Amino acid sequence: MSPEQQEVLRAELTQDPEGHGYATHLPDDPARVVDLLTQMRTTMTGALRSTTAKAWAAAGPYARIVDASNDADSPCRASCLVIRDSFACGDPIHLEDPRLEAMLAGWVACGIATEAEFADLYELAQVPASRADVLGIPAPTARDIVDAWSNE
């Protein structure tokens, strides 16, 4: 675990923003804290399979994506072309990437998709996740827990 990840873990253990009760298990039972951090009990936005994204787009936005990608004056032309290429290649659509989220937000302003359509798209991209996944750290070991706790 990198120093930055160790700092994220330390902050999680000391602040316990989700109220998991880490402190009640430390320092005596770091394995229980590992369980709390690695149980799949939430969701987060993940990559969306191209076939799933195509099914979403076929319900309405695809025609607007094609129209915008063919319109040289559309401010969303480049992003529509990228998504069309991703559809054609079967590449996953990485909705978890903040840059893509910002790009797609521009589609609402251009009328390519509605807020409701994007809410549906992001719902399709929800994947099971652990607290460690949400924090962006690898699954910690008991040693990682002890080290983070003892350095508070």
Can you give the pTM of this predicted structure?
0.76
Alpha-carbon gap, residue 70 to 63, rounded angstroms = 11
Q: Model confidence over 14-35: pLDDT tens digits?
A: 999 999 999 999 999 999 999 9
Question: Is beta strand 40-45 parallel, antiparallel or unpaired with respect to 126-130?
Answer: antiparallel
Two structure tokens written together for 67: 């129209």
For the chain, the distance separating the N- and C-terminal CA atoms, rounded to the nearest angstrom, is: 16
pLDDT of residue 152: 57
Are the C-beta atoms of residues 47 and 96 closer than 8 Å to each other?
Answer: yes
Tell me the percentage of the chain whose pLDDT exceeds 90.
85
pLDDT of residue 46: 93
Residue 112's identity, in one-letter code, is I
pLDDT of residue 151: 76
Count CB atoms within 10 A of the CB of residue 75: 11
pLDDT of residue 58: 93
Burial letters for 87-113: b for 16+ Cβ neighbours within 10 Å, e otherwise?
Answer: beeeebbebeeeebeebbeebeebebb
Question: Could you tell me which of 124, 125, 134, 137 has the C-alpha nearest to residue 9?
Answer: 137
- The half-sphere exposure of 29 on its side-chain side, counting CA atoms within 13 A, is 9
pLDDT of residue 102: 86
Alpha-carbon gap, residue 152 to 132, rounded angstroms = 18
Average pLDDT, the chain: 93
Alpha-carbon gap, residue 81 to 138, rounded angstroms = 34
Query: Does position 8 have pLDDT exceeding 60, yes or no?
Result: yes
